[in-house]
A and B are shown apart, each in its own frame.
Chain A
Amino acid sequence: MEAAKKLLELNKVSVGFPHRGGMRPVTENVSFSLHDGEILGIVGESGSGKSVSMLAVMGLLSGNGKVMDGSIRFYNKEQPEEYTELNKLLKGELRQICGNEISMIFQEPMTSLNPVMTIGAQVEEMLTLHSTLPREKHKEEVLSMLSEVGLSEVEKLYDKYPHQLSGGMRQRVMIAMAMILRPKLLIADEPTTALDVTIQAKILKLLKKLQTEYGTSIVLISHDLGVIRSICSRTVVMCEGRIVEQGKVEDIFERPQEEYTKRLLAAALGKGEIIEKREIDYQLAPVVKAENYSVFYAEKPKNAQQLGSTLAERLKSIFAGKIRREVVRGVSFEVYPGEIVGIVGESGCGKSTLIKGLAGLNPLTEGMLTMEAKHPQMVFQDPYGSLNPSKTIGWLLTEPLRLHSIGTKEEQRQQVLEMLKKVGLSEEYYDRYPSTLSGGQRQRIAIAMAIMLKQKLILLDEPVSALDVTVQEQILILLLSLRKEYDLSYIFISHDMNVIHRICDRVMVMYHGEIVESGKTEEIFERPQHEYTRKLLKARL
């Protein structure tokens, strides 16, 4: 790799966006280069400028974003000794290069495909626009590319629409689109973040394969250090618009020089070290006991068979306009006082549905459920949606007390201020609005809201999944200290096995609406019994 020539070079690039009349820089003096045929990782937390830098390469900056300073040089196909300065090109010229030589895949496979075009037509469009291949060969080429990226039954797939595909399949289609012109450079912006772990690993393997087969250089943008380590040869660490450190992956991961990199690594690759263990008394009466508990969804029937088998059932469903679909199928479990029970499983396995049932947000349930807490509280995944944007933090935290008429106005205020301190925020947050808070701070408020009513059971639905790794760490520690202080029990949903390992006492693995395995955390991690659990653990990077 030493002798390989540079394919792309960023030299002191600063990207800015207009702000209050002037330009505000988002990245400053970003310099790195990419060699022919290598996979370079760019890692950093949200807002670190990693995506913006690569969007600048493609000329895809949104709004009035501009490359303010520096140069972006890309190798020139016709004159191998020369470089093209991408940031000086006209739009049309840049587009020519972008289609043929550079392509990009995005995080969200749900929205980056056009929903009204068939898969075949979308992939083929790339050929129509950029390729000199004769028309009649297009379909053949598309089909071979689709099977190249690991999709099966490509003939059928050709005429399907994006909504008929799973997330992983869509991402494969995106990759097929990006690779069909055999670009020299592929920019992958968080390509696996929206996917389940077992699919993540497969997509990464595919990228690696394409790199070795076609010699395509890849820039992989990710916040996930595990992803970076699994396939990149070199990596660039970014923070607040600057490059903190760059070098070979082994060096960065084993001998990080900068403080920030060390912190990032410690938070992300703690290999799921247990933060704190606590003895649980399993002789006590459980706080939750579910027996043969099922949760249903009401949905519009898709075909006649779903209406039911007997005439009476059919008539009932027709009049209701909806049928019940069993999402959680007869699960049984207990949660003991002070215990943290983790639920893992892929998206759609019914884990969120289960706790929505427990919380009482979904009334369509069957089976036995005994619960000590009258109003079990919940913390949601997205801290941007779970706090009412038009209320102040103080109002939000007082609301549970107001609703249950606890204390006088002054007492309520005192309680709220105390709670703010407990979750690690100062009193000045009382009068602020959620929009002025960061994701981590919002999640602290959401947790505070859940604890205000002093209920013993808190349901946590992916509470740290939307947060950066360093913030995740803080929230997990906060959850543990609050458990001790208020004697809480948690049901903790996560798709991240590392997080589960770090704080849960027991784990339940859900698959297709059933609990396929459950037990003490160490036991599950050391001796997984079920096939699916093994797969989950193996996919851990």
Chain B
Amino acid sequence: MVNDMSFLKKSKKQNKSDNTKNWQLRLGIVLVSVVTLLVVVGLFWTPYEPTAMSAALKNKPPSLTHPLGTDYMGRDVLSRVMDGAGTTFFIGVATVLIGLVLGTLLGAFTGYYGGIVDELLMRLNDTLTSMPSILLALVFVSIIGTGKYNIIIALGVIFIPSFARVVRSEYLVQKEMDYVRNAKLLGAGNLRIMFVHILPNTKSILLSTITIGLNNAILAEAGMSYLSLGVQPPDASLGRMLSEAQGYLLSSPWMALAPGMMIVLTVLGFSLISENLKN
């Protein structure tokens, strides 16, 4: 009988696009897996050496030997996309990880304790979020220098506020729940309540924040590298490849198309997942 009721409640939340959501989620998972597969394979094997140049093979359109063509230095675009996507993904994941860990800590403390520290940190948070993140990253990079690892630090710091905000709001709700009171009565300390009792209950909201975060991080890296503030040559990254392809957009469009599509597919995949994961 009780099952019946919970079932009713669930069906209330689900609206008529229930089935649509299902295939959207599936499509998202398929897209992300395909892209991830490419990247993982790219770590160990690429059709050609991504940095191998050849004057004879400059700007060749897609063919059987080079499925996605070659670039202006005669490098195989497919190999470079696989390698470059790896770099972009690494930066994306590392960035989100920094944001996730520090943001969660910050959000948990401010949300749970509240008070003056909460006020101060959240206003600082507002200040950070009020500036365009790419601009802020530019400032960071211009201070600490370019390069793969500096980009990670710069973007990571910028990602802290969004995680902190989400986690804080969840803690504000959860700390008023009876199970938290119960834990207090049993004698659990604040740290234990925060990280053992409450934290697991934030996982669904964290999961969708992580997927959105990955998207933003990949886009931000691409943007930074496009402005040649990110990954430095000869390393490949999707943004870097786009930037290099700019001059050949009309004569050899495949150079831009391949990394561009890669970004589109990844972002689309993650968006579909995060959008439909919420229920």
Do A and B come together as binding partners?
yes
Q: Give A contacts to B, CB under 8 Å.
A: 17-19, 24, 26, 45-49, 52, 62-65, 240-241, 359-361, 375-378, 380, 382, 385-391, 399-400, 403-404, 435, 438-439, 446, 449, 452-453
Q: Which of A52, A391, A399 has the most CB of B within 10 A?
A: A399
CB of B23, distance to nearest CB on chain A (Å): 14
Across the interface, which residues of A come within 8 angstroms of B123, CB to CB?
none
Complex CA distance for A539 and B60, rounded to whole angstroms: 90
A385 touches B15 (CB 8 A): no
> Once the chains bind, are B8 and A17 in contact (CB under 8 Å)?
yes
Give the CA-CA distance A75 to B205 in the complex, in Å. 50
Contacts of B200 in A (CB 8 A): 388, 390-391
Contact among B12, B15, B16, B188 with A399 in the assembled complex (CB-CB below 8 Å): B188
Chain A residues with CB under 8 Å of B13's CB are 63
Tell me whether B178 and A382 are in contact (CB under 8 A): yes
What residue of chain A has the Cβ atom nearest to residue B177's Cβ?
A385
- Mark the stretch among B31-39, B84-92, B104-112, B179-187 that contacts chain A: B179-187
For residue A17, give the distance in angstroms from its CB to the closest CB of chain B: 5
Of B1, B3, B14, most buried by chain A (CB within 10 Å of CB) is B1
Within 8 A of A (CB), among B10-34: 11-16, 18
Chain A residues within 8 Å of B184, by CB? 361
Distance (whole angstroms) from the CB of A326 to the closest CB of chain B: 22
Residues on the B chain within 8 Å of A17, using CB: 7-8, 11
Q: Is the CB of B18 within 8 A of A64?
A: yes
Contact of A380 with B182 in the complex, beta carbons under 8 Å: yes
Contact in complex: B179, A400 (CB < 8 Å)? no
A240 contacts B179, C-beta separation under 8 Å: no
A-B contact pairs, 8 of them (CB 8 A): A19-B11, A46-B5, A47-B2, A64-B14, A375-B186, A388-B200, A399-B183, A438-B3
Q: What residues of chain B lie closer than 8 Å to A240, measured between beta carbons?
A: 1, 4
A-B contact count (CB 8 A): 102
Q: Which residues of B contact A453 (CB under 8 A)?
A: 186-187
Question: Is the pair A19, B7 in contact by a Cβ cutoff of 8 Å?
Answer: yes
Q: Tell me which residues across on chain A come within 8 A of B5, comparing CB atoms.
A: 46-47
Chain B, Cβ-Cβ closest to A395: B196
A400 to B12, CA, bound (A): 37
- The list of the 9 closest CB pairs from A to B, nearest first, reads A390-B200, A63-B11, A47-B1, A386-B178, A438-B2, A47-B4, A62-B12, A385-B178, A47-B5
Chain B at the A interface: SS class: helix
Residues of A within 8 Å of B232, CB to CB, are none
Q: How many B residues face the partner with a CB closer than 8 A? A: 31
What is the chain A residue whose CB lies nearest that of B198?
A388
Question: Is B54 among interface residues, defined by CB-CB distance under 8 A?
Answer: no
Question: Are A359 and B7 in contact, CB atoms less than 8 angstroms apart?
Answer: no
Q: How far is the CA of A199 from the CA of B141 in the complex (A)?
A: 67
> B197 near A: Cβ within 8 Å?
yes
Beyond A438-B3, A453-B187: 7 further Cβ-contacts under 8 Å? A17-B8, A65-B11, A359-B185, A376-B185, A378-B181, A399-B186, A453-B186
Closest beta carbon of chain B to A377's beta carbon, Å: 6
A26-B8, A403-B187 known; A449+B182 contact, CB < 8 A: yes
Q: Is the CB of A390 within 8 A of B11?
A: no
Docked pose: A391 CA to B201 CA in angstroms: 9
Q: How far is the CA of A45 from the CA of B1 in the complex (A)?
A: 9
Separation of A391 and B177 alpha carbons in the complex (Å) = 15
Partner of B182, one of A65, A378, A389: A378
Bound-state Cα–Cα, A114 to B42, Å: 58
What's the nearest-Cβ distance from chain A to residue B80, in Å? 43
Q: Smallest Cβ distance from B158 to chain A, in angstroms?
A: 30
Whether A18 lies near B18 (C-beta < 8 A) is yes
> Can you name the residue of chain B whose Cβ is closest to the Cβ of A439?
B2
Alpha-carbon distance A375/B184, docked complex (angstroms): 10
- A380: chain B residues at CB < 8 Å are 178, 181-182
Q: How far is the CB of A364 from chain B (nearest CB, A)?
A: 16
**Do A64 and B185 touch across chains, with their CB atoms under 8 A apart?**
no
In-complex Cβ contact of A63 among B2, B12, B182, B186 (8 A): B12
Residues of chain B contacted by A359 (CB below 8 angstroms) = 185
Rounded to whole Å, the gap between the CB of B119 and the closest CB of chain A is: 11
Q: What residues on B are CB-neighbors of A64 within 8 Å?
A: 11, 14, 16, 18
Q: Across the interface, do A389 and B187 meet the contact criterion of CB distance under 8 Å?
A: no
For B2, B13, B16, B183, which residue has the most chain A Cβ atoms within 10 angstroms?
B2
Interface residues of B in 177-230 (CB under 8 A from A): 177-179, 181-188, 192, 197, 200-201, 203
Looking at the assembled complex, report how far the CB atom of A18 sits from the nearest CB atom of chain B, in whole angstroms: 7
Question: In the complex, which residues of chain A have a beta carbon less than 8 angstroms from the beta carbon of B185?
Answer: 359-361, 375-378
State A507–B201 Cα separation when bound (angstroms): 39
User: What CA separation (Å) do A388 and B175 show in the bound complex?
Assistant: 11
Q: Is there an interface contact between A63 and B1, defined as CB atoms closer than 8 Å?
A: no
Q: CA separation between A47 and B5, bound complex, in Å?
A: 5
By beta carbon, the residue of chain A nearest B179 is A388
Knowing A26-B8, A52-B8, the reply to whether A46 touches B2 (Cβ < 8 A) is yes
Residue in chain B with minimal CB distance to A387: B179
The smallest C-beta distance from A357 to any residue of chain B, in angstroms, reads 13
Does A241 contact B4, Cβ atoms closer than 8 Å? yes
Q: Which residues of the partner chain B approach A361 to less than 8 Å between Cβ atoms?
A: 181, 184-185
Q: Kindly identify which residue among B7, B15, B201 contacts A24, using a CB–CB cutoff of 8 Å.
A: B7
- What is the chain A residue whose CB lies nearest that of B181? A361
Which residues 207-264 of B have a CB within 8 angstroms of A?
none
Instruction: Specify which chain B residues have a CB less than 8 angstroms from the CB of A241 in the assembled complex.
Output: 4
**Residue among B3, B11, B12, B188 having the largest count of chain A Cβ atoms under 10 Å:** B11
Which residue on chain B has the smallest CB distance to residue A241? B4
CB distance from A369 to the nearest CB of B (A): 16
Q: Tell me the minimal C-beta distance from B179 to chain A in angstroms.
A: 4
A388 CB contacts on chain B under 8 angstroms:
179, 183, 197, 200-201
